[in-house]
Amino acid sequence: MRWPAGYRRDLAVVCLPYRHLFCGTGKESGISFCAVALWPHPSERLSDMAHDHQAHHGHSTQHGHGHTHGGDVDWAAIAELMEAEAEVCAPVYARALAWLGKEVTEPGLIVDAGSGPGVIACLMADTFPGARVVAADASEPLLERARARAARQGVADRFGTIAGELPDSLGELAYPADLLWASRSLHHLGDQKAALAAFAARLAPGGTLAILEGGLPSRYLPRDIGFGRPGLQARLDAAQEERFARMRAELPGAVPETEDWPALLTAAGLKHTGTRSFLLDIPAPVPDRARAFVVGWLTRTRDIHGDVMDAEDRATLDRLLDPADPGGLHRRPDVFVLSAHTVHRAVRPV
Ligand SMILES: C[S@@+](CC[C@H](N)C(=O)[O-])C[C@H]1O[C@@H](n2cnc3c(N)ncnc32)[C@H](O)[C@@H]1O
């Protein structure tokens, strides 16, 4: 990656509060802070470091090669579904970022820890035009998507990626973050308390850590859909809870934790500054994109939980997934998207 031709945006970056320039980790000690135009672009350096990291490990990512962590997911295999979900949820993220923006004014460096395909990271780049954004994830194929999205969106010049296992991979950061966002990624790390402490350590003084965890299970269909046993989604939620518990128990270094996120943020040495839930409410009739996401979600649900469902629920799901069935998801008019996403934010004391 080359230093971008237009300097104006980069000048905006060097006009940010001094902590962006001087609170380094020591890795950037060779940088000349006064030579603005020669100052290496952090995303360039981060990409280089990410490549080094891959080289040291012999392959880019466990996920990318279809391996999983314990009972965890093969993320690259569901990249499209992840992207579709994040795009459908984009209004929620936009509101969450607006809320964070009241606390994090003019961030210089934003890190999206467990970024997946980078939908939210790119939204961050849009929301905070003076910021550099780093998407960090264990899955290189997902990061490839993130970089492609950043390029399509015209923000590639201030967008970098770090491939590797969280939270250790954040050691690749050359600068402390003003905003570190971890959306539904923390719960995939074995020791969540230790991970939060490690995230907190990557923050600049006064920087914000925001985690999206919890909320409510999504609803896409009425309780009674006119065939099968009513309450299908509630039973799928119960199956998902079991799977989630198994997934957590099988993670490397798994530590059971009471999911009191504000208390955990406080234990990480941060000051909890607020918790808010954001509603995603797309009533029927839904746009095609949302419908396609619901079809994708239920298809995956059938794959994952098919063997623990009873025969009636399996038959109901099969009908829902049949594109020719008038009662199926592709054609029925009453599909909707309703979900609640909870964000907890906390600040590193100055
Ligand atoms: C549920 S997805 C969330 C993606 C995105 N943050 C969102 O909210 O749409 C979890 C992400 O965390 C990443 N992840 C899981 N375990 C990880 C680990 N140990 N190190 C780095 N990334 C990990 C996965 O690759 C995946 O992209």
pLDDT one-digit tens code per residue, 62-93 = 332 233 444 468 999 999 999 999 999 999 99
From the CB of 115, is ligand 1 less than 6 Å away?
Answer: yes
* Same domain as 310, residue 202: no
Residue 172 token pair: 């690749």
**Average pLDDT rounded to a whole number, residues 231-248:** 97
- Whether 139 is in the pocket of ligand 1, judged by its Cβ within 6 Å, is yes
CA angle, 8 then 130 then 104, to 5° = 155
Flag whether 203 is in a domain.
Answer: yes
Are 185 and 92 part of one and the same domain?
Answer: yes
Residue range(s) defining the domain that contains residue 185: 8-217+245-276+340-347
Contacts of residue 111, defined as CB under 8 A and 6 or more positions apart, other chains included, come to 133, 134, 136, 170, 173, 177, 179, 180, 181, 202
2, part of any domain: no
Rounded CA-CA distance 318/173 in Å is: 47
Query: Which residue's C-alpha comes closest to atom 16 of ligand 1?
Result: 188
Query: DSSP letters of 209-277?
Result: EEEE---EEEE-S-S--SSS-S-HHHHHHHHHHHHHHHHHHHSTT-------HHHHHHHTT-EEEEEEE
Helix (H, G, I), strand (E, B) or coil at 17: coil
Phi, psi of 198 (to 5 degrees): -70, -40
- DSSP three-state, residue 323: coil
- Check whether residue 75 and residue 147 sit in a common domain: yes
- Ligand 1 pocket residue status of 87, Cβ below 6 Å: no
Is the residue at 1 inside a domain? Answer: no
Q: Does 185 sit in the ligand 1 pocket, CB within 6 Å?
A: yes
Measured by CA distance, the residue closest to atom 13 of ligand 1 is 114
What are the tokens at 58?
A: 């012999």
Is the distance from the beta carbon of residue 86 to the nearest atom of ligand 1 less than 6 Å?
Answer: yes
Is 222 in the same domain as 211?
A: no
pLDDT at 123: 98
pTM passes above 0.95: no
Integer Cα distance of 282 and 295 in angstroms: 15
Is 287 a member of any domain? Answer: yes
Question: What is the pLDDT averaged over residues 239-247?
Answer: 97
30 within a domain of the structure (yes/no) = yes
Task: With a cut of 80, say whether residue 95 has pLDDT above it.
Answer: yes
**Mean per-residue pLDDT, 209-237:** 98
Share of the chain above pLDDT 90, in %: 79
Q: Are residues 178 and 232 in the same domain?
A: no
> Is any ligand 1 atom within 6 A of the Cβ of residue 114?
yes
Probe ligand 1: pick from 188, 196, 280, max atoms within 8 Å of CB? Answer: 188
Query: Is the distance from the beta carbon of residue 170 to the nearest atom of ligand 1 less than 6 Å?
Result: no
> pLDDT category, 51, cuts 50, 70, 90?
very low
> For the chain, what percentages of helix, strand and coil (3-state, to nearest 5) are there?
45, 15, 35
Question: pLDDT at position 60, please?
Answer: 28
Give, using CA atoms, the residue closest to atom 14 of ligand 1: 114
User: Which range is least confidently modeled, 55-59, 193-197, 230-234?
Assistant: 55-59
What is the token pair recorded at 264? Answer: 């955990």
- What pLDDT sits at residue 73? 84
Mean pLDDT of the chain: 84
Q: What is the CATH number of the domain that holds 107?
A: 3.40.50.150
From the CB of residue 66, how many other CB atoms can be counted at a distance below 10 Å? 9
The pair of structure tokens assigned to 114 is 């467990």
Residue 117 Cα: closest atom of ligand 1? 27
**Residues 82 and 211 placed together within one structural domain of the fold:** yes
Ligand 1 centroid–CA 43 distance in Å is 20
Are residues 211 and 182 in contact, defined by beta-carbon separation less than 8 angstroms?
yes
In this predicted structure, the answer to whether residue 108 has a pLDDT above a threshold of 90 is yes
Inside any domain, residue 142? yes
Q: Based on the domain organization, do 123 and 43 belong to the same domain?
A: yes
Q: Under a CB-based contact definition with an 8 Å cutoff, are residues 124 and 131 in contact?
A: yes
Pocket test for ligand 1, best of 112, 137, 162 (most atoms within 8 A of CB): 137
Mean pLDDT of 194-215: 98
Is residue 126 a contact partner of residue 155, using CB atoms and an 8 Å limit? Answer: yes
Q: How many domains does the chain have?
A: 2
User: What secondary structure letter does DSSP report for 75?
Assistant: G
Pocket of ligand 1, candidates 183, 185, 199, 248: which has the most ligand atoms within 8 Å of its Cβ, to mutate? 185
Query: Is residue 3 situated within a structural domain?
Result: no
| One domain for residues 181 and 223 | no
Query: Is residue 224 located within the same domain as residue 116?
Result: no
Report whether residue 75 contacts ligand 1, using a CB cutoff of 6 Å. yes
DSSP state of 307: G
Which ranges constitute the DSSP H helices of 24-89? 42-57, 79-88
The sign of the torsion formed by the CA atoms of 258, 89, 197, 205 equals: negative
Residue range 131-155: average pLDDT? 98
Residues 90 and 142 grouped into a single domain: yes
CA atoms within 13 A on the CB side of 322: 10
How confident is the model over 266-278, as pLDDT tens digits? Answer: 999 999 999 999 9
Q: How confident is the model at residue 27 (pLDDT cuts 50, 70, 90)?
A: very low
